[in-house]
Structure formats: C-alpha cells, structure tokens
Amino acid sequence: MAELFDPNDGYTVTARKWRPRVFDDVTSQEFITKTLRNAIKNNRISHAYLFCGPRGVGKTTVARLLAMSLNCLNRKPNGEPCNVCDSCKEIMNDNRNHPDVFEIDGASNRNIEDVRELKEKVKYGPVRSKFKIFIIDEVHMLTGASFNALLKTLEEPPPYVVFIFATTSPEKVPLTILGRCQKFDFKRLTIDEISSRLRYISGEEKITADDESLFFIAKKGDGSMRDAQGLFDMSAAYCDNNITFEKLKSFFNLAQSDVYFEICDFIKSKDAKGLLGYFDGLMSKGYDMQIFLDGLTEHYRNLLVSCSTGNADLILESETVKKKYTEYISRFTELEIINSLKLILQTEYTFKFSSNQRTLLEALLVELIKFTDTREISQILEELKAIKSDSPVNTSGFKQQISSAPQFKSTSPADTGNSGFTGSAQQVKVSYTSSQYLNESAPPKQEPIAAVKESVPVVDISSAGGDLNTHWLSIKEQIKSERKWVYSIIKDSTFELDDNQNYMLRVDDGTYELVDGYMDYLAGKISKYFGQPLPVNLVKSSEFISSVSSFSAPAEKNSDGTVQEPDNYEKLRAALIKDFNAKEVN
Ligand SMILES: [Zn+2]
C-alpha cells in the first residue's frame, strides 16, 4: 500500500484514504484493469475511453489510475504507476496541481460554453507530461449541443489528448460519441467483495468488527464500495472503533432477520395475538413500516429460495443467517411460501397509497397465518407413496391391496378450521394426515368411475369449486339465519356421498339424537337447495367411513386388452383431482 498524501494531515474518510493506488488494488474489475495495463505496456492507447457502471464501483478510481500510469515519470514495467513521482502524487491528491490532468463533473459543466472552454484547453499540448488527460464524470449529463461540440474533437483528436468518460447511464450517451470510445463495463460489486475489502481496511485501521457487521455494511452498500465505506466510517465512529452487530442494529434501527424469524414463528404457531403484540412492540420502538415490509418481502424471498433449492447458497445473508434459513426449510412448503409471498407483494402494491398503513400491515400478518395450512397435493402423494412402499402387500393383487390399504375420508370444514376447500388451479388445502388413512378400513370396492358418474344426481359439484361440503356450507348459512338452534347442533356436521351414492349427513355422536329430530326440516332444506328431492341419511361420525370407491380412478387397459386396476396411489390422485378440483404442482 502506497504512502498516503493527505494535505489536511488529519482524519480522512475511508473511501478516500483507501482508494486504490495501483490497478492491482482495484476490487473485482480485473478484466478492465488488466486490459488497460496491457494497453499501456504495449503503447496502444485509445483517445477516448468510456467507463460505464453503477455508482461506487471504481470508475473514477480507474480513470485516475489510467491518468497516473499514462503520465507517470517512472512507470513500472507491468504498467502500474509508480505512486511516488510528482505527477502520480498530484493526481492522487485529487488533481489539485496537475497542469495536464483535468477532472470535470459533467453534471455541473454540461453547457456548450463549458465544452468550448474544454476545447480551448485541448488545442494546446501538455505542459510537462506526455498526455493531456480529460476525465469527465457523469458525461451523460452534457447537453446535446455540448455533445456535438465534443464530437468534433473526438473525430480528430490531437495525438496527446486522452478523454476518459465515466457514466452511470451509458444509454443516455449519443451513439456518435459511444462509437468513438473504447467502452468498459464495470461490474457491480458483490457483498463478499465489499466485505472482504472492509475486512482488510479494518485490519489496517485497527478497527475491530465482527463478520456479521461487515456483511451488513457491505449489503447496505448495495454494490457500491464508496457507499459501504461511508457506512463503515459512520459505524466505526458510532461504535468507537469496535463494531458489533448488536450495536449496529440499534444504530440503524432496522428490523433484522431475527425479527422476521420470530414473526414466522408466530405465524407458524397461528398465534395472532402474540404476532400483533410483537408487531406493536416493533412499531413503538420506531421501526419504519416501509422498511419492515421490505424486510418481510426479502425474508419470504429467502425462504422461497432456500426451500426451492434445498440450501441457502443463493441468499445474500451472513453465514449465521444462512444457517438459520437452512434450518427453517423443513417448516414451510414451497406452496405456502409462494402464497404468502404473493400476498405480501399485493400488500406492497397498495401500501404506498394507503392512508392506514399500519392496519394494512396488521391485516397482512393475520392473513399470513391462514396460509400455514396449505399443503401441496404432491406432498400428500409423496407421503402416500412412502406408505405404499412400506406396505408388505403384494402390489399385483388388487383386492388384497385394497383390504389393507389406507382409506380416505374427506375432511369437513370443521376439521380444518378453514372455510372449506378452496382448491384453485395450483393448490388444494388439505388438513388430513397420512396416519388418518391408515387406521381405517372399508370393504373393497371396484366400481369404475364411469358407473359412479351415472348414479350421481344432477348436482354440479365442480360448479361450486369443491365437494359437497361447499354446498353444505351454503345450506348451513341459510339454516343459521332461519333457525339458530338447529344450526348450533349441525354446525360441525358434514355432508357426503357414501359408496352406494347415498347422501349422508354426518354429525358428532353427541348431537345425533338432537339432529334426528330435525331431519325433516334439514332434508327439506337440502332438497330445496338442489332443486330436487334428495334422500338424506343421518349417520354418527364414529360409524361413517366413506369408502375408497368415491375416490376410484378409471381402470386402465393394458396393451393386451386386459384391464389393469388402478392402484391406491392412483386412486387418491384421481380423487384429489376430481373431488378437490386439484392440480399437481410440479
Ligand atoms: Zn509516477
């Protein structure tokens, strides 16, 4: 590292103090620095360079290094500037005294008069260096007339002139200018690149900093080394040269990842009260609501990435946080996260325009709890596959298989705590678990689905987007408004079709006798609802098990014409698709 020249002989901000003095020190623009060094070595200098890229990635720094190297009095054989000659020193010292190197800010010198002045300077050769160098920062800010004036110079530049343009918006630079420049695209710096540079600087400066802090600062820098170094200075001052993540959290007053993990814990345990209380605590500490929402979005994005890829490699977080995400993968399904993320993004859209942002966030949090029940059909099928493969039954013997195979029972809304199945194109909400299938048995049934269809009355189940229970819910709502007492004894009941296509009203054993007394009324309501007389049987929950037949899949014909019975896995798959309007998520 070269000697530091500081005219103030006092505190110098990190970005300036640790500005690279040689090409080799420039962080992660190796392709550019190597190309430039080789050009210098081989004396193949272009008259105009255009450095493009986001802010704080080293465009001006490399422009100065190029100027230093071109005019260096003792240039090293590898093309690096010497750093000690007068020319090098003057350029390093912000070009205060260099007679042949000019740094111009395009934003404040954008008019034709400024360019005319520049052209005057171009006319005369360098005072004491080999090249007369013009570094124009934010060149895209020049006016059209200025560009035109500049173009004439670029078309026939004097041999001693080198222009180095820098811009964050190359698309605003006229093509006529672009065509005359050698263009270099500077890449955005990664968090790792920035944090390792900060690690180096903190070591040199005798500032202690934990990994998580440096990672946080690098991340806040958003690809800009200059911004990150500015934050590093602020953090060092605030933490008195001992930067810890704990102190930074209070300094930046930001909701950090542990906050979101805690929120997810509340969501997962469906603790709305705890969740809202926790959120209230954050708000009273002065957390910014927009930043909170941004953080929540990023958190779910991170969950999605770790869940989809099975690891946390693509997450821009410190190792500690990455580990936490890896541990969290098993707690959520991909579908659950996607749905939650969609909801959050919807809220983001309305958030900015809302006059009641806090309520919006609270509603969002409570709604996120609702998604914790969502399970993917593929997940259920996987579980069944596992059950099937564990089963000792002979898979070729269909009857044998059925007798010992798991049986399925459609769940009622009361069971799930949800408002019935809301199967959309991509999802099906199912709350039963595989263990439930295992403990029940029913006589084998081999009726193909075609026969089942014929015996079904003209009730279009799919029109309500779900099973019979969807209709039953509507009927129950009518009953609720008519006869509250009756409703109270049937509110947990379900309405289902048994093996023999009989309609069954399933009630808790304890309310069976009571409901029986109102069966005429209830059957009347049901028949009226479906527009036809419908015989309804009342059954006790403990006695009623819907058999596998209502889930049966069509039998398939083998190539030799023999009929192949579908296995249980296929039966369930067909049932989920038929009864729950489900689709597989790939
Ligand atoms: Zn030098």
At residue 289 the predicted structure's pLDDT band, cuts being 50, 70 and 90, is confident
Q: Are 516 and 495 in contact (CB under 8 A)?
A: no
Cα(37) to ligand 1 centroid in Å equals 14
* CB under 5 Å of ion ligand 1: residues: 72, 81-82, 85, 88
323, 432: one domain: no
Find, among 419, 300, 430, the residue nearest to 374 by Cα. Answer: 430
444, 413: one domain: yes
Cα(68) to ligand 1 centroid in Å equals 7
Average pLDDT over residues 177-198: 92
In a domain, 586, yes or no: no
Lowest mean pLDDT among 55-69, 497-511, 548-562: 548-562
Instruction: Please give the single-letter amino acid code of residue 541.
Output: S
| Res. 259: pLDDT tops 90 | no
Residue 259 in tokens: 């906050």
> Which CATH number belongs to the domain containing residue 103 in this structure?
3.40.50.300
In a domain, 425, yes or no: yes
* pLDDT number for residue 74: 94
317, 244: one domain: no
162, 202: one domain: no
220, 302: one domain: no
> Which CATH number belongs to the domain containing residue 468 in this structure?
3.30.300.180
Q: E strand or H helix at 325, and its extent?
A: helix 319-328
How does strand 48-52 pair with strand 101-105? unpaired
* pLDDT number for residue 404: 37
Cα(6) to ligand 1 centroid in Å equals 17
Average pLDDT over residues 556-562: 52
106, 213: one domain: no
Cα(95) to ligand 1 centroid in Å equals 13
* pLDDT number for residue 313: 83
pTM for the structure as a whole: 0.52
| Res. 235: pLDDT tops 70 | yes
CA distances (Å), origin 286, targets 140, 254, 289: 40, 9, 9
Lowest mean pLDDT among 117-121, 125-129, 358-362, 514-518: 514-518
How many structural domains is the chain composed of?
4
Cα(89) to ligand 1 centroid in Å equals 7
* pLDDT number for residue 439: 37
In a domain, 385, yes or no: no
How does strand 563-564 pair with strand 556-557? antiparallel
Find, among 437, 401, 407, 377, the residue nearest to 549 by Cα. Answer: 407
Give the model confidence (pLDDT) of 501-554 as tens digits: 778 888 887 778 778 888 888 888 888 888 777 788 888 887 755 443 334 344
Domain that holds residue 180: 14-185
Find, among 74, 102, 71, the residue nearest to 87 by Cα. Answer: 71
In a domain, 6, yes or no: no
521, 480: one domain: yes
> Which CATH number belongs to the domain containing residue 199 in this structure?
1.10.8.60
At residue 568 the predicted structure's pLDDT band, cuts being 50, 70 and 90, is low
Q: Are 128 and 72 in contact (CB under 8 A)?
A: no
* pLDDT number for residue 582: 60
486, 520: one domain: yes
Determine if residue 420 is left, alpha or beta; phi over 0 gives left, psi from -120 to 50 gives alpha, anything else beta: left
